[in-house]
Structure 1
Amino acid sequence: MPKRGAAGSDERGSEAQGTGEGPRRRPTINDIARLAGVSKKTVSRVINASPYVQKDTRERIEAVIAEHGYAPDPQARGLAFRRSFLIGLVYDNPNPQYVVNMQLGLLDGMKGSGFELVVHPCDRASPTFLADLRGFIERQKLFGVVLTPSVSEDERVAALMGDIGCEYVRVASVSLDAPAHMIETRDRAGGEAAAQHLADLGHARVAFISGPPSFRSSRERREGFETGLATRGLTLEARYSQEGAYTFESGIECAAALLKLSPRPTAIFAGNDEMAAGVLQAARQLGVAVPRDLSVVGFDDFEIARRLWPSLTTLRTPTREIGRLAVERLMGLSDEGREPNDRLPVLVVRESTGPAPKS
């Protein structure tokens, strides 16, 4: 059986009958892609009349096809259309607002396309994780999947996608794959901005609450934070570092431990807004005034950041926009390698940060 390409067209060339000049090999989809200077996936879209190809690119590919007499294998094309018009969102994330925002972004990008969204929550720690994921994709005959942290950071998952021939896009804090398969969120830059903001307010005793170590974003945000402190001549002391779980409850627990230290930190950077909300709760319980006695910074800028009291200074990440771009890349609506202009986390200063207390 011929191997299918990204949109189901064949990669196998077959031999033409003699033309008086002896038999010659018919061109393959790989030949057409090389001659047209595009990806095999783009050629497949043109063959299958996808609307998601720019006019000049389509015309260039069609001209190469006509010149070389390329024709896809009808049997292979028939197999392609057995695939569903379903796109999967695969996640293992304790933050429900992240999942909701990502879903909204995917739905934005899919609007009017004829595709529908199905979601697959999973547990990377489960011994049946990979088997369950394979079963989900094969049962649904998915067109492709969008992988979010921490699933996106698991190289076993990327290998599985290649093994079963499923198109995918990974959302992660650093680049882990070819540009066509990646949306990079650059979390390290956000951590650096948080550190510099607090240092510029005069804070020297600063603390950090990380997310779980299974998330690459936890490490990236911490390393960015330490880099930002170093640019201001500061360091993150080991006693001012706590490991959370990206949950509200872990934010309370970690902040309570930090605020009972002597001397206690005058500022805390929490790895996401849920934990930052927990920090504010712990501060209230212990009678620590924010921002007079303690400044707090979060990460994400979800709805909760604006609804808290005091409102939360945080790093805004365009999760919904990232979701839209990820699914457009999966469907071929966006150019490979293009990234959103507002991809970098942006510091949003609100009421939870202020000058370091005089002591």
Structure 2
Amino acid sequence: MKKSGQATINDVARLAGVSKKTVSRVINHSPLLNEETRERVEKVIAEIGYVPNPQARALALRRNFLIGLIHDNPNPHTVLNVQQGLLEVLRDTEFELIVHPVDRGSPTMLDDIRRFVERQRPFGVMLLPPISENDSLAALCAEYGARYVRMGSAAFDDAEHMVASNDREAVRGAVTHLIEAGHRRIGLVLGPHGFRSAFERQQGYEAALHDAGIPVQRTLTAQGDYTFESGMRAAERLLDLSPRPTAVFSSNDTMAAGVLHTARQRGLDIPRDLSIVGFDDTSIASQIWPPLTTVRWPIATMARAAALKLIDEEDADDAGESLFVSTLVRRASVAAPAE
């Protein structure tokens, strides 16, 4: 029997009859193990007094036990929810989270990220949209041996490197809900230029109109950038139309709140005079009045799945779930049109 601190991960693996990879999963509280295996490994760890040495492992792997979250996202709710999901998985493991915001408009963005990866030597990196859609950034992570997972509104990489939502179909269902309520003039507040989510959500909006035989009118589309103020500006343009829309789908909840604010300033009743639907199901959706009908984006669930892909040293064929379904949450901001 070795004294505490002298036992190695190889000793644990040999005595428990498992691989080092399995021991690592036990140490990192992976849910991908059956209880019998977990208990057997934990019993051996306790019996021989094995204490993981992150510094030694990091030196051997030439990696620190850091998970990097790299983002350039204008929506603080998105970043906060991703952090929450990641931390739920990383808690009580050897891993720590390090957040690295970047400027996707900077010509030196890739060089900045290269310096970050060289300096921190992260074990893995999670990439948020829209920079997750940059193939050069994914290649950079691979070049330095850092695991990476890309978050997106559609799948554009292998399962081991992807957590994706079904934005197009989710929005199609949300706009169909407005059509079924009797709306035919439905405005759209777009997301920012260059975001795949903005494109996918616009495609879902247009698909729902095509399904119902309703022409797509560009005059009913207003540009936004996922901020409250851009939602207000978009509403000003849409509500100046004659006839104005009887409903608006907004590409996120924050802009939807801006639409509601502007409509209220004009004396409109929500939902009698204007129905509004958002996307995300952030806290603002249930806090404003009336509570917002919206698409629930399972972002924290996606982040948890991404964390598991990053810290579990598993094969690509066993990469875990990659597609996550968004669902419509019906609240009080939708009603039949008054006219």
Normalization by structure 2: what TM-score? 0.82
Residue 18 of structure 1: aligned partner: none
Q: Distance in 2 between matches of 1:115 and 1:297?
A: 39
> Which SS does the other structure have where 1:255 is aligned?
helix
1:303 pairs, out of 283, 306, 315, with 283
Instruction: Please tell me the root mean square deviation across aligned C-alpha atoms, in Å.
Output: 2.4
Alignment of 1:6-85 (within 5 A): 45=21, 49-51=24-26, 52=30, 54=33, 80-85=60-65
Alignment of 1:329-340 (within 5 A): 329-332=309-312, 336-339=318-321
Residue 19 of structure 1: aligned partner: none
- When the two structures are aligned, how many residues end up with a matched partner? 298
> Which SS does the other structure have where 1:356 is aligned?
coil
State the AA in 2 paired with 1:129. M
The offset of 1:54, in angstroms, is 4.2
Q: Distance in 1 between matches of 2:97 and 2:110?
A: 21
The answer to which of 265-274 and 135-144 deviates more is 135-144
1:251 pairs, out of 212, 231, 245, with 231
1:242 pairs, out of 222, 230, 242, with 222
Query: What whole-Å deviation, never above 9, does each CA across 1:256-276 have from its counterpart, x for those lacking one?
Result: 110011000000000000000
State the AA in 1 paired with 2:325. L
1:146 pairs with 2:122: no
The offset of 1:78, in angstroms, is 8.0
Kindly indicate whether the alpha-carbon contact (under 8 Å) linking 1:189 and 1:344 is maintained by their aligned counterparts in 2.
no
* Structure 1 residues 236 and 337: CA distance shift in structure 2, 3 A: farther
Identity %: 45
Greater C-alpha radius of gyration? 1
Q: Distance in 2 between matches of 1:160 and 1:340?
A: 22
Residue 332 of structure 2: aligned partner: 351
Q: Distance in 2 between matches of 1:102 and 1:94?
A: 14
Residue 5 of structure 2: aligned partner: none
Residue 233 of structure 1: aligned partner: 213
Unaligned 5+ runs, structure 1: 1-42, 59-76
Kindly indicate whether the alpha-carbon contact (under 8 Å) linking 2:159 and 2:322 is maintained by their aligned counterparts in 1.
no
> Which SS does the other structure have where 2:280 is aligned?
coil
State the AA in 1 paired with 2:331. R
Unaligned 5+ runs, structure 2: 1-18, 38-56
The offset of 1:298, in angstroms, is 0.2
Q: Distance in 1 between matches of 2:269 and 2:249?
A: 16
Kindly indicate whether the alpha-carbon contact (under 8 Å) linking 1:179 and 1:336 is maintained by their aligned counterparts in 2.
no
Alignment of 1:97-112 (within 5 A): 97-112=77-92
The answer to which of 156-165 and 346-355 deviates more is 156-165
Q: Distance in 2 between matches of 1:150 and 1:356?
A: 35
Kindly indicate whether the alpha-carbon contact (under 8 Å) linking 2:70 and 2:99 is maintained by their aligned counterparts in 1.
yes
Q: Distance in 2 between matches of 1:287 and 1:156?
A: 49
1:313 pairs, out of 288, 293, 318, with 293
Kindly indicate whether the alpha-carbon contact (under 8 Å) linking 1:329 and 1:336 is maintained by their aligned counterparts in 2.
no
Kindly indicate whether the alpha-carbon contact (under 8 Å) linking 2:309 and 2:319 is maintained by their aligned counterparts in 1.
no
4+ residue stretches of structure 1 with deviation over 4 A?
Answer: 52-56
Residue 11 of structure 1: aligned partner: none
